[in-house]
Amino acid sequence: MALEKLILFLADDDEDDRLMFQEAIDEVKIQTELITFHNGKALMDALAKKDCRQPHMIFLDLNMPVKNGMQCLKEIKMMPALADLPIAIYSTSSSEEDIDATFHHGANIYINKPNTFGQLKQVVEKVLQLNWQYQTSNLNRDTFLFRI
81 binds another protein (CB under 8 A): no
Rule CB under 8 A: choose which of 79, 100, 118, 119 binds another protein: 100
115 binds another protein (CB under 8 A): no
Quick one: which segment of 19-27, 35-43, 62-70, 96-104 binds another protein (CB under 8 A)? 96-104
To the nearest whole angstrom, how small is the minimum distance from the Cβ of residue 16 to another protein? 25
Exposure of 81 by Cβ count < 10 A (0-12 exposed, 13-18 middle, 19+ buried)?
A: exposed
- How far is Cα 118 from Cα 4, in angstroms, rounded to an integer? 26
Rule CB under 8 A: choose which of 34, 75, 105, 122 binds another protein: 105
- How far is Cα 61 from Cα 37, in angstroms, rounded to an integer? 10
* Cβ-contact 132, 2 below 8 angstroms: no
Half-sphere exposure of 83 (CA within 13 A, CB side): 5
Binding footprint of another protein on the chain (CB under 8 A): 1-2, 29-30, 100, 103-106, 110, 128-130, 132-133, 136-140, 142-143, 145-148
